[in-house]
Amino acid sequence: MTADLGALAALDDFTIEVPSWAYGNSGTRFKVFSTPGVPRDPYEKIADAAQVNAVTGLAPRVSLHIPWDRVEDFGALTAYAKEHGVGIGAINSNLFQDDDYRLGSLTHPDPRIRDKAVAHHLDCLDVMRATGSTDLKLWLPDGTNYPGQDSLRGRQDRLAESLERIYAAMDDDQRLLLEYKFFEPYFYSMDIPDWGTSLLHCLALGERAQVVLDTGHHAPGTNIEFIVMQLVRQGRLGAFDLNSRFYADDDLMAGSADPFQLFRIMTEIVATGAHRPESGINFMLDQCHNIEEKIPGQIRSVLNVEQALAKALLVDAGALAEAQGAGDVLGAHAVLMDAFDTDVRGPLADRREARGLPRDPVAAFAASGYASAVAAARVGGTQASWGA
C-alpha cells in the first residue's frame, strides 16, 4: 500500500504539546542522571522546547508545571515563549511534593490540608490567566496503602467537594482536565484509579471538566483504544498524555514500546474526526528522558505520534465498514494492517520539505549545533531536574 498524500492533508492542523519537565534532568528512584546543557530555569526549558517545534512544525505549545516553573512575571515568560515561536499550554498542578500531603491532598481528612490543596489550584488558575492558558491539568496522587487506613467512600466525598470548589473558581473559558492512574504512589487504592472514576467526577462538575488519558496509567493488557472510543463518544476526552510503557508508568518515548497500540488509538481518534482542532482534544506528551538526550527524545516522540496518525488516516474506512458489515473478520483486520504496514516516512518528509521544514528533524537538530552551544553556555548554577 502506498501513502495517499491527499489523506495526509488532515495533518495540516494537527499539533502536539510538549512538557517543560521533559527537558530537565530526570531518572529513577535510584539515580537522577545529569546532562550537559540542561536548562536552569523555565526560560531555558522553553528555549529547548522551541527547538522541537522549529524542526518539526508540530509542537507549538509547552505545558508548565507549578511550582516547578514558577517565575516572578508570567507575562514576561509568555512573551519570551512567543518570541521563540511557541505558546504556553496546559498548567499542571502539583500535589505530591509537600509533606502535608502524606495522607492525601484534596481527599485528606484534615480540612486545613484540603484547603491548602484547593488554594494551590486557585493559584494555578491565576497563572493560567497570566499566560493565556485555558487548561488546568490535575493528576491526583492521593490514595491509601492499607485496608482500613481511611474510608474509601469518605475520600470520594471529600474529593468531590474539593473539585467543586476548584471548578467554581474557573473562568468560563477554562477547562479542568482530570487525570487518573491505577496505582502509584499508593498501592491499596488510588482515589482516581481509572477513567470511570475520573468521568463520574467530571460529569458531576460540568461540561468544562474532562478526562485526561495517560497511556501509561493502565493495568497491563488494558484495551486503551476502547477507553478512547468511550470518552470520545461521551464528548469527555479532554486531553492525552502520550508516552510508552512496558511494565508500569515508564514514561518512555511515545510509540517506542508498542507502535501498533499508538496506531490503534489514533485509528479510533480518526474514525470520529477527533484529531481535528475543533474536537477540543489536546494531544500532549508526558515523558521524562532518563538516559537519552532530552531534545532529540522529544523530537522522536513527536514524529512517532505523527507517523501513527498518518497511518490511521490511511485506513480505508469504506472497505473496513464493508468487511465489518459482511462479518469478514480477516478482511477487516487486513484493512487495518494494510494501513499500519505502510511506510509513511517518505511522504511525511516530503510534506515537511514543502512547508520549509527539514526532511529529517533529528539530523537537522544534531547539525544545528544547539546542543553543544547550550552545553557551553549553561555552566554554573543549578540545573533543572524533575521536580524543580
- Dihedral, 295, 299, 302, 308 alpha carbons, nearest 10: -140
Instruction: State the average pLDDT over residues 117-139.
Output: 98
Residue 62 carries which side chain, given as an amino acid letter? Answer: V
pLDDT per residue as tens digits for the range 290-320: 999 999 999 999 999 999 999 999 999 999 9
* pLDDT of the residue at 5: 64
pLDDT of 1 over the 70 cut: no
Q: Give the chain's domains with CATH numbers.
A: 7-377 (3.20.20.150)
Per-residue three-class SS string for 340-378: HCCCCHHHHHHHHHHCCCCCCHHHHHHHHCHHHHHHHHC
* pLDDT of the residue at 7: 83
* pLDDT of the residue at 3: 62
Residues 179/241, Cβ–Cβ less than 8 Å: yes
pLDDT per residue as tens digits for the range 54-90: 999 999 999 999 999 999 999 999 999 999 999 999 9
pLDDT category at 4 given cuts 50, 70, 90 is low
In 3D space, the residue among 212, 295, 311 whose CA is nearest the CA of residue 255 turns out to be 311
pLDDT per residue as tens digits for the range 235-278: 999 999 999 999 999 999 999 999 999 999 999 999 999 999 99
According to DSSP, residue 220 is labeled T
* pLDDT of the residue at 257: 96
Q: What is the pTM assigned to this prediction?
A: 0.96
- Whether the CA torsion 145, 190, 170, 22 is positive or negative: it is positive
Secondary structure element (H or E) that encloses residue 63, with its range: strand 61-65
* pLDDT of the residue at 386: 74
* pLDDT of the residue at 382: 84
242 beta partners: 285
Number of C-beta neighbours around residue 208 at 10 A:
18
pLDDT per residue as tens digits for the range 149-204: 999 999 999 999 999 999 999 999 999 999 999 999 999 999 999 999 999 999 99
